[in-house]
Amino acid sequence: MSIIKLKNPAYIFESASAVGCEEHKGPLGDKFDFHDEKDKFGAKTWEMAEGELGRTALALALSKAKLRPDDIDVLFAGDLQNQCVASSGGLYSFKIPYVGLYGACSTLGEGLMSASLALSASEDLRRVAAVTTSHNCAAERQFRLPIEYGGQRPPSAQWTATAGGAFLLGRDGYAKIERVMPGTIIDGGIADANNMGAAMAPAAADTIVKYFRESGEHPDDFDAIITGDLAKEGSYLLETILEKNNIVLKNHYDCGMMIYDYKKQDVHSGGSGCGCSASVFSAHFLPLLRSGEFKRVLLIPTGALMSTGSIQQGNNILGIAPLVCVEGVK
Amino acid sequence: MSIIKLKNPAYIFESASAVGCEEHKGPLGDKFDFHDEKDKFGAKTWEMAEGELGRTALALALSKAKLRPDDIDVLFAGDLQNQCVASSGGLYSFKIPYVGLYGACSTLGEGLMSASLALSASEDLRRVAAVTTSHNCAAERQFRLPIEYGGQRPPSAQWTATAGGAFLLGRDGYAKIERVMPGTIIDGGIADANNMGAAMAPAAADTIVKYFRESGEHPDDFDAIITGDLAKEGSYLLETILEKNNIVLKNHYDCGMMIYDYKKQDVHSGGSGCGCSASVFSAHFLPLLRSGEFKRVLLIPTGALMSTGSIQQGNNILGIAPLVCVEGVK
């Protein structure tokens, strides 16, 4: 069995999102809790700006819940920067016991899963948090340097979102997490860093096929099946692979296709990054679960496991897609 | 409360270690399950060699336990390479559902903690695994490039161990984990990447002081209080900080000081890396718990949260030190 049923369910009771300028211009722009027109979040460097973005998201979530940092017992966090320094550098000032995660753009799934497992594992924990971020300029400098070289972006390339989300989980809340499923790493044979969607789609398909086979459920049992950042290219591939497995998704949403108007904004195939699914899930999907409009969703953030070094050494980009089943309590 | 008591304890039932040439020459050399004189582990690059090292450790642990990869339900893993590609690239072929961790050199603590939390959280999980690795040459290329520059290593510098460990946990075994404690990130004001011990010592002290204050226990209640890789410099600082808090450790062992003969081997202050504590804990300490010679140990791997970019931008190196209490079952 790949699906893990928790002995004690966890509940999301609050969340917050923060984004940059381009994300605020997108179709969900007004839904985000905070945006910075300059993408700097008051910091000196793009890398530190990502840390500030995460700090802002967590501070906002705590403020909305009228809680202080020491009301949170453990913080699960991760990002795309080398050695995840955006998360550690941005969040250490809260002094919340910290568990660092790395699942590339799938880190939101890992974070909600790890947070829920921890709550189920021990009654000592009252509340925990999960935070993930990404920043376009920090990612460009790290993964696409030298930017001055002016490499052309093909249509399959994605735009790393300047975005982040913070999620507070505890013993009560409006959205229940009782079933989670870690992803299995899949090598889809893709070595092109400008085609992450194709590298991640087989992993998302693997997770979805396993979930429905093991659970006996049907895609129509859910209001939304939400992938993280497959974007246009990857979403098409996912739906194609699933159809070959006799699974037709009528209610598939991809956060990478939702965060930008990819026909008008110059983002090629769509958005990506740890913060893409985190900000869209917090700003768009959780309110639908809170209001009762949605009853059940499957959240399947997708990650491309690679580094500039692994690409230069000719390795394939490995995909992973953890799953979290989130159910409205109303 | 920072200490997390698990509802259902987890048990380590098997482990394995693999190391490189220099580690095999050290005082624990004969205890490691596997070593490669050439540090290449059959791979083409140092980076891929680290992946192979991790793969070897997990394969050996499975073999010793007479288990197959599909007997393990979740794998928790991490390393020091950018985007943790040694773990994902080295371990994906097992096809075990995967959770990527990043806690720098403290990742063993995070791994054993996360594995134990997961087992406690759900009866669906039969067995889980934790793997961490490091490779001297991969770390040198990533963190100390250009090596040809020939920067002098000061006496406080540490030597990243070419080493790794794999740990199998389940419902029965010879070493029980019932209490864990995630570390709190501490800024000790150190920005010198050649003095990681000083950056990590305040975090280790923070964890140890909190543990004894909250638990009401005493250091003498343990056969060993094991830090990960503070090495000579950091161990001295830790003991000094603890003495100011009226805690005297008579039974402090640091894996970074044990893996090499730092007076004879050219490793300056001692060993470091995710694989240092993993290999020493597997090869030296777990057998003492298995035989009954040791009853209880505190394992406190230590991590320095930084990247080459964060150092270049003048940020401090943040320390973290998760704690796992491991008790012999005999």
Residue B289's SS3 state is helix
Helix residue ranges, H only, chain B:
21-25, 46-64, 85-91, 107-121, 136-143, 196-215, 231-244, 255-258, 274-280, 286-291, 308-312
| Per-residue model confidence (pLDDT) at position A148 | 79
Distance CA A109, CA B248 (A): 42
Q: What is the DSSP code (8-state) at residue B159? A: E
| Per-residue model confidence (pLDDT) at position B25 | 97
Q: Which helix (H) or strand (E) holds B74?
A: strand B74-78
Residue B243's SS3 state is helix
Nearest beta carbon to residue A117 from set B98, B121, B313: B121
Distance CA B71, CA B62 (A): 9
CB B122 within 8 Å of CB B116: no
Q: What contacts B173, CB < 8 A, 6 or more positions away?
A: B11, B12, B13, B14, B329
Distance CA B276, CA B161 (A): 6
Chain B interface test: which of A85, A215, A316 (most B C-beta within 10 Å): A85
Do the strands A74-78 and A128-134 form a parallel or antiparallel pair, or are they unpaired? parallel
**Beta bridge mates, B169:** B12, B128
Q: What is the DSSP code (8-state) at residue B154? A: P
Q: What is the largest CA-CA distance in chain B?
A: 54
Do the strands B175-181 and B252-254 form a parallel or antiparallel pair, or are they unpaired? unpaired
| Per-residue model confidence (pLDDT) at position B149 | 79
Residue B261's SS3 state is coil
CA distances from A45 to A91, A236, B1, B192, B310 (A): 16, 36, 36, 20, 10
CB B226 within 8 Å of CB B264: no
Q: What contacts A278, CB < 8 A, 6 or more positions away?
A: A17, A57, A108, A131, A132, A133, A163, A164, A165, A166, A167
**pLDDT per residue as tens digits for the range B102-140:** 999 999 999 999 999 999 999 999 999 999 999 999 999
CB A283 within 8 Å of CB A258: no
| List of chain A residues whose C-beta atoms are within 8 Å of the C-beta of residue B200 | none
Residue B219's SS3 state is helix
B2 interfaces chain A, CB cutoff of 8 Å: yes
| Per-residue model confidence (pLDDT) at position A150 | 77
User: What are the tokens at B44?
Assistant: 């083409």
Render A254-317 in DSSP notation, one character per residue: EHHHHSS-TTTSS-TT-EESHHHHHHHIIIIIHHHHHHTS--EEEEE--EEE--HHHHHTTPPP
Torsions phi, psi for A278 (to 5 deg):
-65, -45
Q: What sign has the CA pseudo-torsion A107, A109, A112, A117?
A: negative
Q: In what order do the strands lie in the sheet with B318-320?
A: B186-187, B318-320, B303-305
User: What are the tokens at A268?
Assistant: 């090629």
| List of chain B residues whose C-beta atoms are within 8 Å of the C-beta of residue A44 | 313
| List of chain B residues whose C-beta atoms are within 8 Å of the C-beta of residue A83 | 80, 82, 102, 104, 305-307, 310
Residues in chain B, how many? 330
**How large is the angle between the packed helices B231-244 and B196-215, nearest 10 degrees?**
40
| List of chain B residues whose C-beta atoms are within 8 Å of the C-beta of residue A318 | 88-89, 92
10-residue mean pLDDT series, chain A (330 residues):
95 98 98 98 97 98 98 98 97 98 98 98 98 96 82 90 98 98 97 94 98 97 98 97 97 98 90 97 98 98 96 96 96
Looking up tokens 């005493």 gives B218
Smallest CA–CA distance from A70 into chain B, residue: B1
CA-based nearest residue to B274, from B187, B158, B173, B182: B158
Q: Is the peptide bond before B322 cis (omega within 30 degrees of 0)?
A: no
User: What are the tokens at B158?
Assistant: 């540490």
**pLDDT per residue as tens digits for the range B37-85:** 999 999 999 999 999 999 999 999 999 999 999 999 999 999 999 999 9
A4 interfaces chain B, CB cutoff of 8 Å: yes
Q: What is the pLDDT along chain B (330 residues), one digit of tens a residue?
A: 799 999 999 999 999 999 999 999 999 999 999 999 999 999 999 999 999 999 999 999 999 999 999 999 999 999 999 999 999 999 999 999 999 999 999 999 999 999 999 999 999 999 999 999 999 999 999 998 777 777 788 999 999 999 999 999 999 999 999 999 999 999 999 999 999 999 999 999 999 999 999 999 999 999 999 999 999 999 999 999 999 999 999 999 999 999 999 789 999 999 999 999 999 999 999 999 999 999 999 999 999 999 999 999 999 999 999 999 999 997
Cβ separation A4–B81 shorter than 8 A:
no
Distance CA B247, CA B255 (A): 20
Q: What sign has the CA pseudo-torsion A276, A278, A280, A283?
A: negative
**Partner A, chain B 92-151, Cβ-Cβ below 8 Å:** 92, 95-104, 110, 113-114, 116-125, 142
Distance CA A278, CA A40 (A): 19
B190 interfaces chain A, CB cutoff of 8 Å: no
Smallest CA–CA distance from B180 into chain A, residue: A122
Task: Tell me how close the Cα of A128 comes to any Cα of chain B, in angstroms.
Answer: 12
Domains of chain A, CATH where assigned: 4-170 (3.40.47.40), 176-328 (3.40.47.40)
Residue B24 C-beta-side C-alpha neighbours within 13 Å: 12
Distance CA B191, CA A312 (A): 30
Residue B320's SS3 state is strand
Q: What contacts A281, CB < 8 A, 6 or more positions away?
A: A15, A108, A165, A226, A255, A299
Do the strands B163-170 and A159-160 form a parallel or antiparallel pair, or are they unpaired? unpaired
Average pLDDT of every residue of chain B: 96
Nearest beta carbon to residue B4 from set A114, A124, A306: A124
Task: Tell me how close the Cα of B7 comes to any Cα of chain A, in angstroms.
Answer: 5
> What's the predicted TM-score (pTM) here?
0.98
Looking up tokens 């939101």 gives A108
Cβ separation B5–A84 shorter than 8 A:
no
Q: Please return the burial class of B265, using the count of CB atoms within 10 Å of its CB with bins 0-12, 13-18 and 19+.
A: middle
CB A187 within 8 Å of CB A301: no
| Per-residue model confidence (pLDDT) at position A153 | 86
Going through chain A in order, the beta strands assigned E by DSSP cover 4-19, 34-35, 74-78, 98-100, 128-134, 159-160, 163-170, 175-181, 186-187, 224-227, 252-254, 271-272, 296-300, 303-305, 318-320, 323-328
Nearest beta carbon to residue B313 from set A47, A121, A182: A47
Q: Which amino acid is at B283?
A: A
Quote helix, strand, coil % in chain A, to nearest 5.
Answer: 40, 25, 35
Residue B179's SS3 state is strand
Q: What sign has the CA pseudo-torsion A170, A173, A178, A181?
A: negative
